[in-house]
Amino acid sequence: MPRVCVIGSGIAGLAAARAVLASKHEVVVFERYGKLGGCWNPEVVYPGATTQDPGEVYVFSEFAPLEKWDPFPTAPQIYSYLLAYAKNYDLIKHIRFNTEVTGVQAAGDGPENGWIVNVKAADGKTSTEKFDFLMVCTGTFSSPNIPDIPGAAEFRASGGVLLHTSELAQKMPDISAGVAGRTVVVLGFGKSALDVATMAATAGTAKSVKLVHRSLWWCMPKKILSLIPFPSLFLSRFGYLLLPSPYEGTLARILRFLLTPLTWFAFRAMEQAITAQQGLRRLGMVPPGPLNITGVTCLGAQVEPDGFYNALHRKVLSHKQASIIGLGPKRVDFDDGTSMSTDTLILGTGYKWPNLPFLPPSVREQVLDQEGGLRLHRKVIPINVPNLAFIGYASSLATLFTNEMSARYAAAYLDGRVRPARSQMEALLKVEREHAKRWYQDPHIRRELDGPCVAPYQVSFVDEMCREMGVRRKVGGIIGFVRDWMDPWDARFYKDCK
């Protein structure tokens, strides 16, 4: 019976452990923190965080929420859900908390003989264990992206507060109290930056709050025109048919071509509706990219935090499109030659990926391409390295489910039920790269699609994994078929795709 090492107990690690145990293999999960949950771990997640994905799609296919939760669930709700999932499938006894993986080496003459895993416990004791298969589940939210801004030490020495959003849980657990009486700058335009800027501004305790951002992305209102929930328009199988996919067949390509006028009209109409609803022209914040290109990717698919644009219109929150090039004594300098006084800078600059410091350089070289993208078949299996899989690199608008399917695919690979030829993997990777190059011009978006993002084609991504595993989703008759195509994507239809 193969012995499997899983690194991380977030969404990906829990799904991986569940899939391995369902395949009747032995599993050990190493978790560096004292609690499971990954980015939803209460020790890590910033105060006030919610999902960016609707609760109806932010679930595992075989485990429904145990309680009625918010339309966009809160961090405590998600943590409770993950904890209940782990208890339900008896995963916790397989997790070694407060144990960090410090290094991995191939056993014997190479990874075909398994892996030697070095770990360090909280008390500093180190140990080494042998495994037959390695699943890397550290995902894309484990290493904060903290830019090296000149003058940071001088800024702190003057009494300035400089924090990444990942540090707020420990150093500013109450944002309202933390920003009281302070002049706050929040850097970034991703989810954490928008959330923190909105909370700081609407708390009413800060002297001022300014959002500084380099790029502009579409922020989807939770209800378009305050009437239509955006999942009803964006997250159905029919909705995804309007978007290009690297996996689409001839029939799908023909249908998408025939629907091109509808696609153009629908997205332009939504752009106008969102622009009017949020008052983007008055704010000078109309994004330059079309909604059906930039607004459906992991980087550009933002959901408007409650009160964000309202705070901008009420002028309790201001914004500036610029880059920060330096800091001084309670001062921030911008690339347009201007400066402003501030005593608090919060970095909503996301996370670095891939974060694989424990892998030996020889393995990293084979897993990564020259641009830092991941060379993974189905975002899971490295082309050149045996007995290794990556779970957590299939980010989408239904991340729990796409990573659950990645874990099942990895388990099928471990069992030998899926064994794609190297030529097949190389060919598919080439198709995916060419697709990203053709449809997405922004280099940041293209890098995400070359890496861990499948959001624009998440339906066909999962369908293709199921097809390769030789299983099919079960929609349940005519009514189920209609729901499958027109309702927001339902993970439960894939419960038996293992």
Question: DSSP for 137-192?
Answer: --TTSSSB-----TTHHHHHHTT-EEEEGGGHHHH-S-HHHHTTT-EEEEE-SSHH
CB atoms within 10 A of CB 415: 15
Query: Which residue is listed with tokens 């305050």?
Result: 226
Q: Under a CB-based contact definition with an 8 Å cutoff, are residues 206 and 182 in contact?
A: yes
CA-closest candidate to residue 496, choices 477, 470, 468, 478: 470
329-362 residue pLDDT tens: 999 999 999 999 999 999 999 998 888 999 999 9
8-state DSSP, 488: B
CB atoms within 10 A of CB 429: 20
313, amino acid identity:
H
Residue ranges with strand state E in 31-98:
95-96
48-94 residue pLDDT tens: 999 988 888 899 999 998 788 898 999 999 999 999 999 999 999 99
Q: Specify the 3-state DSSP secondary structure of 131.
A: strand
Element (H, E) at 388: strand 388-390
18-41 residue pLDDT tens: 999 999 999 999 999 999 999 999
Contacts of 462 (CB under 8 A, 6+ apart): 401, 402, 405, 494, 497
194-209 residue pLDDT tens: 999 999 999 999 999 9
311-328 residue pLDDT tens: 999 999 999 999 999 999
CB atoms within 10 A of CB 48: 18
Q: Under a CB-based contact definition with an 8 Å cutoff, are residues 474 and 444 in contact?
A: no
Output the CA torsion 149→154→159→163 (10° steps). 20
Residue 80, CA distances (Å) to 117, 138, 391, 440 in order: 30, 20, 21, 37
Asked if pLDDT for residue 126 goes beyond 90, the answer is yes
Q: Under a CB-based contact definition with an 8 Å cutoff, are residues 322 and 212 in contact?
A: yes
Mean pLDDT of 405-431: 95
**Confidence class of residue 443 from pLDDT cuts 50, 70 and 90?**
confident
Asked if pLDDT for residue 301 goes beyond 80, the answer is no
Token pair for 70: 């918010």
Range with the poorest average pLDDT among 118-127, 255-264, 369-378, 407-416: 369-378
Mean pLDDT of 238-251: 88
CB atoms within 10 A of CB 369: 14
CA-closest candidate to residue 165, choices 150, 184, 182: 184
Instruction: Report helix angle 11-22 to 399-415, nearest 10.
Output: 40
In percent, how much of the chain has pLDDT > 90?
A: 69
Q: Under a CB-based contact definition with an 8 Å cutoff, are residues 302 and 52 in contact?
A: yes
159-205 residue pLDDT tens: 999 999 999 999 999 999 999 999 999 999 999 999 999 999 999 99
Distance CA 405, CA 15 (A): 8
Mean pLDDT of 128-142: 95
Query: 219 versus 289: which is more confidently predicted?
Result: 219
8-state DSSP, 235: S
Mean pLDDT of 419-424: 94
Distance CA 318, CA 283 (A): 9
